[in-house]
A and B are shown apart, each in its own frame.
Chain A
Amino acid sequence: MSNAIIPLLLDSLASAALIFFAAVGLTLVFSVLRVLNVAHGSLYSIGGYAAASACLFIASRQLNSYLSFAALLFSAVFVAAIFGPLIERSLVRWTYGKSEAVQILITFGLFLILEDLQRLVFGVQSLYEDAPMRLLGTSSIGGVVYLNYQILLVGMAVLVVVGLRLLINHTRLGRLITAVVTDREMAQSIGIDTNRIFVLAFSLGVFLAALGGALSTPTSGIAPGLGADTMVLAFAVAAIGGLGQIEGAAVASLIVGLARVLAIYLAPSLDAVAPYAAMLVVLLIRPYGLFGSVTARRI
């Protein structure tokens, strides 16, 4: 039993890391912009497509395969630089101050558009290039063999948590973001350029999602439909952790990753249900998530 548990735990950690990238971007954008971007999952899969295409290109030209690591990172930056400002300026900005219904509908429309665009550009075939995973190889500790790439994923996720904390608590930009989150009007009236903060925060969210998508391609490839699945999973994680909570998202993705892997291990046909079952249980007990704070209802 213990021999089966350790790889299982590692699998769940790696899958938790991937969900975390998507969820933390979602939660970050929500806390700064007060908009839940329903199209967030599509940006994850666009990052994946960009990375897979780049890695396939590197493989086909027989370039140095270590370049594919740079390609993973670069494709996420690329997607964030293009889609972040574009979406924020054209669509999301229009919804500020409008009702949540309007925000959901607009980003849902964007979601439909992006999903179909990916199908048109990349086709319905799945893309798969595992060079980065093969390069890192496997290690074994105590007779248990595992992929080094999975360790890298977990490391990256930890790096993102620490990085975001440092950014928010110890940089000027972070203080500006905190000010905007705490009181948008006051921040504006003391001269903070909130529009700039919104673009930056949104693009950072897109970057994190695209990075998650890019890092997921070497292990699982990418196929149509990933965007929708990721969106719902990311929301489940963000909701469990409490919307707007970075550490909450980290803990919640561990819970969801574990629930998912346990389901695959115990009842494989129920693996799609496990994360939502976890979400339902948490939300029934704590409607605002594990780390969320109760906000007063509007009168």
Chain B
Amino acid sequence: MRIILTAAAVLTLAVLPVAAPWLQFVLTLAIAKGFAALGVAVLLRAGLISIGHAMFFAASAYGVAFLAHAGINDLGLLLLLSVLVAALTGAIAGAFLVRYRAIFFAMLNLAVSMVFYALCAKLYGVTGGTDGMPVPIPAVFGIIFAEPVFKSVLFYLSLALMVLVGLAVQRYLDSPLGHALSAVHTNEIRLEYLGIPVWAVLLIAYVISAALAGLGGAISAFAIGRVVPDFAFWTASGHLVLIAVLGGIGGVPGAFIGALFLELLHSAAVTVTDAWNLIVGMALIIVIMFMPQGIYGLFARKEASSP
């Protein structure tokens, strides 16, 4: 049942841009943010809230821009290397950050990401300051497409990655290593008595979540064609947290459903108001107070109650 539902959803997504071409960009960004939110959701399982994950999103996006600048011109290679950049950044930051819990974890992530943002915006000679850096259209298996074609290729590639990476993350979460995350949340000391190194469990989760955020960042960099420091701004991290919370208990699909919901809402809301963060903040509070299981929880509950 679940597989059919998922397949139907992915097919719908694949067909939608054919019917409404303007949706393609929105959907590509939604999937990209879904990856990043999935990263936040992985840490959320361990009860850790990162309000700085946009840093890894931006680190990988800047990675793409720098590598393209250095002459690497292959989409696959750029994606792979930039995700590695994010994972490496995650390993360095994580080695320090996973020692902390709750408030300290959240605020230190925020602090580190704001330092990153400040550096991106201030080091004009290296990162182009607030002007950002351009991302040229890369070759796909040696072929350089025209821009509209490349954007389509990118969209379908992200869709395929969503399924593949989604399955991989699901496997990870179902593995003992993944279950250890919720055990950290419930009782971390018990875990230590069982001989499981909490530090390593969390560091692996942190690196995975940074890599996921990085994948999203790289896709966004290609989709938008420019990398700016705002990618790393704390409001961007806030959106990721909201998506992860919206996705709620939905696990892997939840993050993408949340991202789609929010991106579509965003593209509808910008025509009416520019107070987007206001809406995000209110939505966050409303979801936490009244729908603690996220929007996925609503569907799941309906499914359970229907015979």
- Footprint of B on A, CB under 8 Å? 36, 38, 91, 94, 99-102, 104-106, 108-117, 119-120, 228-229, 232, 235-236, 239, 243, 269, 272-273, 276, 279-280, 283-284, 287, 297-299
13 new A-B contacts at CB < 8 Å, known A105-B284, A108-B281: A38-B51, A101-B47, A106-B285, A106-B289, A112-B284, A114-B281, A232-B107, A239-B104, A243-B103, A269-B122, A272-B115, A273-B115, A287-B100
A105 near B114 (CB under 8 angstroms)? no
- Footprint of A on B, CB under 8 Å? 44, 47, 49, 51, 96, 99-100, 102-104, 106-108, 110-112, 114-115, 118-119, 122-123, 187-190, 234-235, 238, 241, 245, 275-278, 280-285, 288-289
B288 near A272 (CB under 8 angstroms)? no
The 6 closest A-B pairs by CB, nearest first: A112-B281, A109-B284, A272-B118, A113-B281, A116-B278, A109-B285
Q: Which residue of A lies closest to B288 (CB)?
A: A105
Kindly list chain B residues whose C-beta atoms are within 8 Å of the C-beta of A119: 275
Residue in B112, B115, B284 whose beta carbon sits within 8 Å of that of A108 in the complex: B284
A-B contact pairs, 20 of them (CB 8 A): A36-B107, A38-B107, A99-B47, A100-B102, A101-B49, A101-B102, A105-B284, A106-B284, A111-B238, A113-B278, A114-B281, A116-B275, A235-B107, A239-B107, A276-B115, A280-B96, A297-B188, A298-B187, A299-B189, A299-B190
Q: Which residue of A lies closest to B99 (CB)?
A: A287
B231 shortest CB reach to chain A, Å: 16
Given contacts A113-B278, A232-B110, A287-B99, contact A108 B104 (CB under 8 A): no
Tell me, in angstroms, the Cα distance from A119 to B276 when the chains sit together.
11
Tell me, in angstroms, the Cα distance from A91 to B288 when the chains sit together.
11
Q: Which residue of B lies closest to A229 (CB)?
A: B114
Kindly list chain A residues whose C-beta atoms are within 8 Å of the C-beta of B238: 108, 111-112
Given contacts A106-B288, A108-B51, A299-B187, contact A115 B123 (CB under 8 A): no
Tell me, in angstroms, the Cα distance from A228 to B104 when the chains sit together.
16
Kindly list chain B residues whose C-beta atoms are within 8 Å of the C-beta of A273: 115, 118-119
Tell me, in angstroms, the Cα distance from A100 to B185 when the chains sit together.
12
